[in-house]
A = this chain, B = another copy of it.
């Protein structure tokens, strides 16, 4: 009797994942799924399968997604111009309406459907559902000595994680769009990394994972050989000053710091372009990307 090599290897792979299954069972993992990492349909399907698997082996799983590129595209179709001030989109009422429609009505539901097709039970939430994210308006930004109001842009003020806990307990996978509820109930657009960090902290998650389109934090720009595999939270400031942490990494590091200070055990920046990167990170001994910890 001869067994096919493939099935044999499959059984070995599963059994090697056993200690990880056991370790994470009942723990919470928060994933920030960046807009750029969502572009490839095949990889997106992979991510959704990974989420369903995580839930199936008992991980309490929450997904936060981004969506900047698609908002810009829709604004373009509507002939609406957007100003950026210091990298932040000035969000007037019409822009806000479009942003919410794209984030909540398009990207969020697309991910929900894809997770459900993969066998999961996803529920899409915005920051206004169940009062999940209460937000304050961002302060005006000084440009050439003049204060520019950013409009409906916000920062998390208070997270009410009950709705997440209630859904997780019933074996749903919450999928959260990065918006918040402002002082008058209005939608505020919030940086997705910030939302993820606040939610991870409010849930005292075991891990927060940024699924990005980068290898991780690199000591030398553009050189993946210089991947930094571990960063202590107290190193962030110096690395930012030295420019190692820059651009899109800055809000991720801010979010990581907030999460770690709030009780999250570790934060990971991994490369979503690698198929099943989440599984590799969680269930194999392969270290991928950069880990930030206290």
Which residues of A does B touch, CB under 8 Å? 1, 3-4, 7-19, 21-22, 25, 46, 49-50, 52-53, 56-58, 77-78, 97, 100-106, 108-109, 112-114, 116-119, 121-126, 128-131, 162-163, 166-167, 170, 172, 181, 184-187, 215, 224, 227, 271, 274-276, 279-280, 283-284, 286, 288
- Chain B nearest CB: distance from A124 CB in Å? 5
User: Do A14 and B17 have beta carbons less than 8 Å apart?
Assistant: yes
* Contact A97 to B106, CB < 8 A, known contacts A13-B14, A58-B58: yes
In the complex, which residues of chain B have a beta carbon less than 8 angstroms from the beta carbon of A123?
A: 123, 125, 129-130, 163
Could you say which of B21, B185, B187 contacts A114, with CB atoms under 8 Å apart?
A: B185
User: Do B21 and A17 have beta carbons less than 8 Å apart?
Assistant: no
User: Do B101 and A53 have beta carbons less than 8 Å apart?
Assistant: no
- CB-CB nearest in chain B for A118: B18
* Contact A1 to B105, CB < 8 A, known contacts A122-B130, A181-B113: no
Can you name 11 extra interface pairs (CB under 8 A) apart from A97-B106, A105-B106? A3-B280, A3-B288, A8-B280, A12-B276, A57-B58, A101-B105, A102-B105, A105-B105, A112-B129, A124-B126, A166-B170
User: Do B116 and A128 have beta carbons less than 8 Å apart?
Assistant: yes
User: Do A122 and B129 have beta carbons less than 8 Å apart?
Assistant: yes
- CB-CB nearest in chain B for A113: B185
A interface, over-half SS: helix
Centre residue among A10, A12, A119 by max chain B CB count within 10 A: A10
User: Do B101 and A8 have beta carbons less than 8 Å apart?
Assistant: no
User: Do B106 and A53 have beta carbons less than 8 Å apart?
Assistant: no
Q: How many copies, total?
A: 6
* Contact A1 to B109, CB < 8 A, known contacts A78-B78, A104-B104: no
User: Do A129 and B124 have beta carbons less than 8 Å apart?
Assistant: yes
In the complex, which residues of chain B have a beta carbon less than 8 angstroms from the beta carbon of A13?
A: 9-14
User: Do A116 and B181 have beta carbons less than 8 Å apart?
Assistant: yes
In the complex, which residues of chain B have a beta carbon less than 8 angstroms from the beta carbon of A227?
A: 1
User: Do A130 and B126 have beta carbons less than 8 Å apart?
Assistant: no
CA distance A135 to B12 in the complex (A): 32
User: Do B215 and A8 have beta carbons less than 8 Å apart?
Assistant: no
CA distance A50 to B21 in the complex (A): 13
- Chain B nearest CB: distance from A226 CB in Å? 12
- Chain B nearest CB: distance from A223 CB in Å? 11
CA distance A16 to B21 in the complex (A): 16
- CB-CB nearest in chain B for A21: B56
